[in-house]
Amino acid sequence: MSVAQLNAAPSVEVEHVIPLPHAPRAASAVRRHVHTVLAGWNLRAEDAEDVLLVVSELLTNAIIHALPPARLRLSRVLVGGRAAVRVEVTDTGPAAPARLSAAALDPDEHGRGICIINALSARCGVVVHTGGTSRWAEVLVG
């Protein structure tokens, strides 16, 4: 998607807000919904896959580590003059940490999300506010 396409598509919404059910099984339904949104934005397949991976990581983080309710906001933005998709997940703050032993945490299954997000996004960050926490990433597209 080019900057011209971003600005020249008034019939296509540039922002979607999706409430996130606080259940691991909900993640696949949310990803399918996001895939439909991205297809409507005519993203290239490889760009859509990058955005979906970032969505998955932020969504999983909210489901596992945060208090509900949570919401996902997708928006089309410009980053340094280039088209991007902003993925933002807002929750009501961190849940009390589970009392798991170090042996219960498999490093092959957990802890790589931020590395994936950093690798795929042009910018990312966390904002703590009175309503909770927002984690966001902007993925260049086109």
pLDDT tens readout for residues 45-103: 999 999 999 999 999 888 888 888 999 999 999 999 999 999 999 999 888 765 544 44
Separation CA 20–CA 22 (nearest Å): 6
- The enclosing H or E element of 114 equals helix 113-120
Domains of the chain: 3-7+16-95+110-140 (3.30.565.10)
φ and ψ at residue 2, rounded to 5 degrees: -95, 170
The token pair at 89 is: 């997940």
pTM of the prediction? 0.82
Say how far residue 122 (Cα) sits from the centre of its chain: 13
Output the six-digit token pair for 47: 């760009």
44 φ, ψ (degrees, to nearest 5): -65, 150
Q: What is the pLDDT of residues 106-136, one digit of tens each?
A: 555 556 788 999 999 999 999 999 989 999 9
Q: What is the DSSP letter of 134?
A: E
Distance of alpha carbon 36 from alpha carbon 38, whole angstroms: 5
Distant-in-sequence, close-in-space partners of 2: CB < 8 Å, separation ≥ 6: 83, 142
